[in-house]
Amino acid sequence: MIDEASIHEDCLYLNVTTPRHVGARKLPVMVWIHGNGFINGAGSLYDAQRLADTGNVIVVSPNYRLGIFGFLAHPSLDHGAARHLSGNFGLEDQQAALRWVQRNAAAFGGDRANVTIFGESAGGTSVCSHLAAPGSAGLFQKAILQSGECTGEKWSPGPPTWFPLPRAERERHGLDVASELDCPDVRTAASCLRKIEPEVLTKWSDVGLGSGPTVGGGVLPLSPQKAFATGRFNRVPIIQGTTRDEHRLFTAAIEAATGKQTTDASYRDEVHTLFGPTDAARVLARYPSDHFHSAGEALSTVVTDWAWACPVLDRNRALSAHAPVYAYEFSDENAPWFTTLAKPNFPTGAFHGGELQYIFDDAQLPGPATSAQRKLSNQMMRYWSQFAHTGNPNGHNSPKWSPFKAGEHVQSLAPGAIGSADLAQEHQCAFWASIGN
């Protein structure tokens, strides 16, 4: 059952899932930060009982403020009741949950000195932010990033919702939103905004820049991209990865929302919008639509390679220069599709979020369907939980997973085929390195 939408800021609750049988030994705590674009979602959507039992870990899944309530950057909201400059209230909620774990871990059998943060999509972006945030130092000892947009390009279509963006950019957006809501005076905007009904405010959560972290001062002095490149981040062991066909979900969702399938013409137009005429011609020559099931799949492949796979490969290289990194690609080409979204006219493959049902009983996804998929699910839970125990995903009777080193392959996670994958070749990263240069 999927939670009903709520407009109340009284949302700061969390769920604690323990193994059915807890011994005397303190167990690792895994803190799950949910995704859904910083716009919606809840920790309760992800049933972690199988993960807790399989891995002998404790899973904590907090909620945090979303949308305009969690991420509006506006000078009138700076300081006051806020601990920092505005724009990152949702991240501060997550930090509050991590401090709660520090205070209360022992009460539910957890080890406060062995905390792993993990998240997917906007949750993965949150994990990136905590790696870069000085105020998160010491609140966790390991991190798992699943399909997080932390660095790289702001791709279209749609707002760059989950990207950490500069404060000047976020504040311009906040001033525009306040003005549109008839609160143009910076001196009185905070009190003015607080008088507006929440259901009116929430409609502005995904307008323009959307909602996401603010870089500069306060919680995030440095962008994750700069922090990772310079080594100025919380150096802990990391698992990081993507799904092989990330953008197929977004293309399918946009087609479903608009009622329009991607055509050859709209594919060409979108590529020209993204890259300009010179680079667009090269992209279209490298990714001709007649090489795919449909133009929608062609567009999905372009954005997957350009905005997901190759940036995460660069991020693997940057992070692994300073901390142990175990890199993966979720590659189940038959991952069960969402229960609430119509399938598009192309194979959905290993879509964005497709791996969630292999780690949780996810209210949004039907779960592994075949014996091979269930075995993959068990293996992924063992990898994730073993990493939480030791900082290394390798355990007894598990396929070996080597730490990432520049130029090396990543671990491919597919039913009956866990092994090595060449991300750079598979996603044509040498080609993408030449685009825009």
pLDDT digits (tens, 9 = 90+) for 277-309: 999 999 999 999 999 999 999 999 999 999 999
Domain boundaries, the chain: 14-246+307-433
Q: Percent of the chain beyond pLDDT 90? A: 87
Enzyme catalytic residues: 121, 246, 352
- Distant-in-sequence, close-in-space partners of 104: CB < 8 Å, separation ≥ 6: none
Q: Is the Cα torsion angle 91, 213, 309, 348 positive or negative in sign?
A: positive
Q: Is 425 a residue whose pLDDT tops 90?
A: yes
Q: Give the whole-angstrom CA distance, residue 107 versus residue 58.
A: 12
Q: Which of 160-164, 228-232, 322-326 has the lowest mean pLDDT?
A: 160-164
Q: Is 197 a residue whose pLDDT tops 70?
A: yes
Start-to-end CA span in the chain (Å): 48
Q: Give the whole-angstrom CA distance, residue 139 versus residue 103.
A: 11
Q: Is 152 a residue whose pLDDT tops 80?
A: no
Q: Is 406 a residue whose pLDDT tops 80?
A: no
Res. 60 pLDDT band, cuts 50 70 90: very high
Q: Is 1 a residue whose pLDDT tops 90?
A: no
Q: Which amino acid would we find at residue 176?
A: D
Buried/exposed code over 64-73 (b: 16+ C-beta within 10 A; e: otherwise): bbbbbbbbbb
Q: Is the peptide bond before 157 cis (omega within 30 degrees of 0)?
A: yes
pLDDT at residue 28 in the model = 98
Q: Are 331 and 412 in contact (CB under 8 A)?
A: yes
Instruction: Return the closest-CA partner of residue 6 out of 224, 198, 272.
Output: 198
Q: Is the Cα torsion angle 152, 154, 155, 160 positive or negative in sign?
A: positive
pLDDT at residue 407 in the model = 75
Res. 157 pLDDT band, cuts 50 70 90: very low
Domain 14-246+307-433: top CATH class? alpha beta
Q: Percent of the chain beyond pLDDT 70? A: 95
pLDDT digits (tens, 9 = 90+) for 32-55: 999 999 999 999 999 999 999 999
Q: Is 203 a residue whose pLDDT tops 60?
A: yes
Q: Which of 36-40, 113-117, 182-186 has the lowest mean pLDDT?
A: 36-40
Res. 161 pLDDT band, cuts 50 70 90: low
Residue that has been written with the tokens 């059998």 in this structure: 109
Residue 224's Cα: distance from chain center in Å? Answer: 13
Q: Is 210 a residue whose pLDDT tops 90?
A: no
Res. 80 pLDDT band, cuts 50 70 90: low
Q: Is 24 a residue whose pLDDT tops 90?
A: no
Q: Is 153 a residue whose pLDDT tops 60?
A: no
Mean pLDDT of the chain: 93
